[in-house]
Amino acid sequence: MHSPTGRRLFRRAAVTTALGALAAGLSLIGPLAPATPAAAASGTFQQVTDFGSNPGNLAMYEYAPTDLPSNAPLVVALHGCTQSASDYHAHSGWQKFADEWGFAVVYPQTSTANNSLSCFSWFDSTTDARGKGEAASVKQMVDTAVAQYGSDRSRVFVTGLSAGGGMTADLLADYPDVFAGGAVDSGLPAQCATTLSAASGCQYSDQNLTPRQWGDKVRNSYPGHAGPWPRLAIWQGTSDTTVVPVNGAELRDQWTDVWGIGQTASSTQDLTGGTTESIYDDSADEPAVALFSVSGMAHGLAVSPGSGADQCGSTGTYYLDYICSSYYTAKFWGLDGSGGGSGSSLPAPSGVTVTGTTDTGASLSWTAVSGAASYDVHRAGAKAGSTTSTSYSDTGLSPGTSYQYTVAAVDSTGAVGTSSAPVTATTTGAGPRCYTDNNYNQVVAGRAHQSGGYTYADGSDQNMGLYNVAVTHTLKETSPGYFVIADTGC
């Protein structure tokens, strides 16, 4: 049974309090009692005072098991507002898996000197961007820990809760060359807000952006980077009223677009604690994005106290008894030795370019990858074909339509490497026509029909709602006389 804390829904503060919190930097997590670090099973939780110029004015704490071997992974874990590094270390469960699976953990800590509520500034473009402020300080912590422990630079990961989750998404966008993967717990998409005044809109509202627009926020954070991209685990409670559930969907849209894959899950399964796991595979059929939706969970980090292999952490304010998110995140990254989403070691092809289009086709070219036996070409996340050359022509397309492509190198064993950054090809000719009108007029115009008081799109028979003038939809004519609902974009 879930704890009372885990079941409790959060209520928004009064308007004056909310405005005060907004001015202070958004209270994504409420006040907590001071926490004592968990007793170290085989290592020591300690502060590191010298880790670089520290432009973001952060503190660095770390934990590593005794006798940690060189070339081990490194995890960076960011707390939420009003929390501390020791609090996060005590409750999150990361120490357990650092001891069991052999990796070090770095805990950045902000303070009231940066933000009155000790929030990481995920909404401030002067400090959450590559080479700036808090983001640069975290990068210096990574460099210091890698040098100290001899960590494997190809296995550096970052995770965070709430405001720390928002900063995690920013760090993944700023430093895709540093982090192999990330996890955003009850957090927000990368660069959702770039000013304090815009932050509350991200917390509470759907931003109505397309996956491509979300993906561009990542790509624009480090222009010119063509991959590989970090693999992302997203944790979101369905009853979160502080960072509303649409943020989980927006994160999913953002990072699947960056990977050049679709927003339809490759697989789903039910886990403990009312959790549904949805996996989105890359072109090598390896998990690239995972969305963990926790039914009934409010704002916080999912933990599951106990001695079981898949249990961890301890409950507290905003540490909610549902499922050990740290366990499933670590497994998703492959920290348990499973390899996670690793495939071929071949890099992403560079220089992917659209070389020409016709009414029904598109041609691509790219730079050869050393060690590649062939190349897989994906269109909108689905494999369009393969070739042994460095060019490909796709056919059978619709006129006047945009298509997104990625290319991945395949080695002699058949293992598929990292996908390229997506490119868009738009075929020539007249594309699908779109019509926005109320249901009554759509029927009168012959684009829909009514039955039993409801309206249905001609051809697709999609239910458009009641047959009246109060309901409006956009219909796309994908072929003569065949219409589909296209309210989210045409």
Indicate which CATH number applies to the domain containing 163. 3.40.50.1820
| Residues 438 and 366: beta-carbon distance below 8 Å | no
Residue 120: the pLDDT is 97
| Residues 235 and 294: beta-carbon distance below 8 Å | yes
> Count H helices, E strands: the chain?
11, 26
**What is the C-alpha end-to-end distance of the chain, expressed in Å?**
45
| 219 shares a domain with 141 | yes
**Sequence-ordered alpha helix ranges (H) in 205-344:** 211-219, 246-259, 325-333
Other Cβ atoms closer than 10 A to 99: 18
| 375 shares a domain with 324 | no
- Chain-centre distance for alpha carbon 312: 23
Q: Is residue 348 part of a domain?
A: no
**Structure-token pair, residue 155:** 């296995």
- pTM for the model: 0.68
Q: Is residue 341 part of a domain?
A: no
Beta-bridge partners for 451:
454
Q: Of 404, 426, 448, which closes a domain?
A: 426
Identify the sign of the CA torsion 10, 16, 17, 21.
positive
Q: Is residue 80 part of a domain?
A: yes
pLDDT tens-digit readout, 177-229 = 999 999 999 999 999 998 888 999 999 999 999 999 999 999 999 998 888 89
| 156 shares a domain with 264 | yes
| 461 shares a domain with 420 | no
| 113 shares a domain with 95 | yes
Residue for token pair 């993944």? 172
pLDDT tens-digit readout, 355-408 = 999 988 999 999 999 989 999 898 876 678 999 999 999 998 888 888 888 888
Residue 87 pLDDT > 70? yes
What's the rounded Cα separation, in Å, for the pair 481 and 148?
A: 66
Other Cβ atoms closer than 10 A to 371: 14
Upper half-sphere CA count for residue 437 (Cβ side, 13 Å): 16
Indicate which CATH number applies to the domain containing 374. 2.60.40.10
pLDDT tens-digit readout, 317-368 = 899 999 999 999 999 999 987 665 444 567 889 999 999 999 889 999 999 9
Residue 397: the pLDDT is 87
Q: Of 376, 392, 426, which closes a domain?
A: 426
What's the rounded Cα separation, in Å, for the pair 400 and 410?
A: 31
Look up residue 369 and give its DSSP letter.
Answer: -
314: Cβ–Cβ under 8 A, 6 or more apart, which residues? 38, 90, 91, 303, 305
Domain count, the chain: 3
Q: Range of 447's domain? A: 433-485
Q: C-alpha angle 408/411/412, rounded to 5°?
A: 150
**Structure-token pair, residue 24:** 């202070």
Upper half-sphere CA count for residue 486 (Cβ side, 13 Å): 16
Residues noted as catalytic:
162
Phi–psi pair at 91, nearest 5 degrees: -105, -25
What's the rounded Cα separation, in Å, for the pair 75 and 87?
A: 16
Q: Is residue 344 part of a domain?
A: no
| 378 shares a domain with 262 | no
**For the residues of 91-135, what is the DSSP string, one character each?**
HS-HHHHHHHHT-EEEEEE--TTT-TT----TT-TTTSSTTSHHH
Element (H, E) at 140: helix 133-149
| 327 shares a domain with 285 | yes
Residue 455 pLDDT > 70? yes
Residue 345: the pLDDT is 62
**Structure-token pair, residue 466:** 């009641």
Residue 42: the pLDDT is 64
pLDDT tens-digit readout, 266-325 = 999 999 999 999 999 998 889 999 999 999 999 999 999 999 999 999 999 899 999 999
Q: Which amino acid is at 133?
A: G
By the 10 Å C-beta count (0-12 exposed, 13-18 middle, 19+ buried), 188 is classed as buried
3-state secondary structure of 59: strand
In 3-state terms the chain splits into helix, strand, coil percentages (rounded to 5) of: 20, 30, 50
| 223 shares a domain with 91 | yes
| 261 shares a domain with 208 | yes
Q: Which of 401, 409, 407 is nearest to 352 (CA)?
A: 407
| 223 shares a domain with 96 | yes
Mean of all residue pLDDT scores within the chain: 87
Q: Is residue 339 part of a domain?
A: no
| 416 shares a domain with 442 | no
| Residues 186 and 237: beta-carbon distance below 8 Å | yes
Residue 402: the pLDDT is 84
pLDDT tens-digit readout, 113-172 = 999 899 999 999 999 999 999 999 999 999 999 999 999 999 999 999 999 999 999 999
| 446 shares a domain with 386 | no
Q: Of 426, 446, 471, which closes a domain?
A: 426
Q: Which of 145, 300, 155, 329 is nearest to 232 (CA)?
A: 329
Q: Is residue 346 part of a domain?
A: no
